[in-house]
């Protein structure tokens, strides 16, 4: 068992990482069940695949599933209303711990619902995708998407526990695994050059399902995120903003492709990281050698590394326009996460969107 504590005072919690942890979930979830029952939010696909396994593990209590359709469309006002109404119909109370059992969409949606019902109740993250295990389940950011953009309505609401079982990834679609892997690489690019070197040698094992390599990569990414969250829980000092490396570009790419299956979030982050490195090199703060190294690694993981792959070349103005709704925008300016090299990310508030548009118009 790998145990990583997120030290946030009275909001501190543990992230437990172990193969087969789902089958031992009773040890951790039964004690927090109110009156012998657990309210759980999942999507229809995850529940069909893994619901029976979880219910078997929690046979001594009643599990009440609240299901939403799989996909980003559920992370919406309508999806939130569905979950909130169902929770109240089941008699939710502030002493409940709502279990989020699914990928990033479910975690964000269930977490936001937990933040607002009865002015806030507890919740537990049991992430079932690699992206959720290494990123969205940790740190307490919860949100839904609105017409103006992705994740623009939400709350900081820390979970009370996160249970990460890498064995759940064994049946995950390989494309989803690759998308989640992009977030692991992102942590290395932010502040851990040694991890990036390790991934260059072991990334293929992580993607292929090697249990030891996959667990080590997940633990390293989670520990990296926990350190940054501890330093800047509410993203007020600028430190936590580093976690958005690749995301300002990535969210614009997702918006331009209609938040569709054409581009998964992790795929957008991969291309967004490549663009952040290339833009940093154009501004003279990062070497072209590091740009090539990052691009090569994402290519080896079969992740998108060029606008041409998505048919988005020449759309600089449209992509920059999406960035006007970025959550990091303040005082009329968008803060960009740029790099001085691998493992050396920093916040730059001097970037002009017109310069970004010109750069993107020239990008392949």
**Residues recognised as catalytic:** 119, 141, 183, 225, 235, 240, 244, 247, 251, 265
Where is 257: in which H helix or E strand?
A: none
CA–CA dist 286, 49 (Å, integer): 44
Contacts of 308-313 with C-beta under 8 Å, sequence gap 24+, read 308/364, 309/271, 310/253, 310/257, 310/262, 310/263, 310/271, 312/253, 312/256, 312/257, 313/363, 313/364
Are 168 and 321 in contact, with CB atoms under 8 Å apart?
Answer: no
Other CB atoms within a 10 A radius of the CB of residue 90 amount to 13
- Give start and end residues of each alpha helix (H) in the chain: 26-29, 44-57, 77-89, 104-116, 130-131, 174-191, 193-208, 211-231, 247-256, 265-282, 288-300, 316-322, 353-362
CA–CA dist 97, 32 (Å, integer): 7
CA–CA dist 72, 79 (Å, integer): 10
- Give start and end residues of each alpha helix (H) in 90-151: 104-116, 130-131
Structure-token match 């939403």, residue found: 68
Are 30 and 63 in contact, with CB atoms under 8 Å apart?
Answer: no
Structure-token match 């998964």, residue found: 264
Q: What is the separation of C-alpha 101 from the centre of its chain, rounded to a whole number of angstroms? A: 14
Q: List residues bridging with 336 in a β-sheet.
A: 348
Instruction: Give Rg (Cα) of the chain.
Output: 20
């Amino acid at each position: 068992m790998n145990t990583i504590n997120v030290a946030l005072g009275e909001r501190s919690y543990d992230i437990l990482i172990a193969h087969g942890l789902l089958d031992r979930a009773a040890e951790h979830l039964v004690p927090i069940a109110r009156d012998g029952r657990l309210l759980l939010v999942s999507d229809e696909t995850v529940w069909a695949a893994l619901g029976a396994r979880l219910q078997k593990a929690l046979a001594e209590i009643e599990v009440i599933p609240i299901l939403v359709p799989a996909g980003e469309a559920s992370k919406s006002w309508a999806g939130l209303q569905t979950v909130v109404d169902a929770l109240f119909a089941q008699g939710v109370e502030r002493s409940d711990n709502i279990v989020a059992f699914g990928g990033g969409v479910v975690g964000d949606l269930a977490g936001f619902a937990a933040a607002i019902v009865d002015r806030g109740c507890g919740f537990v993250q049991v992430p079932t995708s690699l992206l959720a295990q290494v990123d969205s389940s940790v740190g307490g950011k919860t949100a839904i998407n609105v017409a103006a953009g992705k994740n623009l309505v939400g709350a900081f609401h820390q979970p009370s526990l996160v249970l990460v079982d890498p064995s759940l990834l064994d049946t995950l679609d390989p494309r989803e695994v690759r998308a989640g892997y992009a977030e692991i690489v992102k942590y290395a690019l932010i502040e851990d050059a040694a991890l990036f070197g390790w991934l260059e040698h072991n990334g293929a094992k992580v993607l292929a399902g090697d249990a030891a390599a996959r667990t080590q990569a997940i633990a390293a990414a989670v520990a990296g995120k926990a350190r940054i969250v501890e330093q800047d829980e509410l993203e007020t000092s600028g430190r936590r903003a580093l976690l958005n490396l690749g995301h300002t570009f990535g969210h614009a790419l997702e918006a331009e492709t209609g938040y569709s299956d054409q581009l998964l979030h992790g795929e957008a982050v991969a291309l967004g990281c490549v663009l952040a490195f290339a833009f940093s090199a154009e501004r003279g703060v990062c070497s072209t050698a590091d740009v090539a190294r990052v691009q090569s690694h994402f290519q080896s993981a079969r992740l998108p590394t060029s606008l041409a792959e998505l048919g988005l070349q020449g759309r600089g103005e449209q992509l920059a326009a999406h960035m006007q709704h970025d959550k990091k925008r303040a005082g009329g300016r968008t803060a960009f996460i740029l790099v001085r090299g691998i493992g050396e990310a920093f916040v730059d508030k001097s970037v002009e969107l017109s310069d970004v548009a010109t750069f993107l118009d020239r990008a392949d």
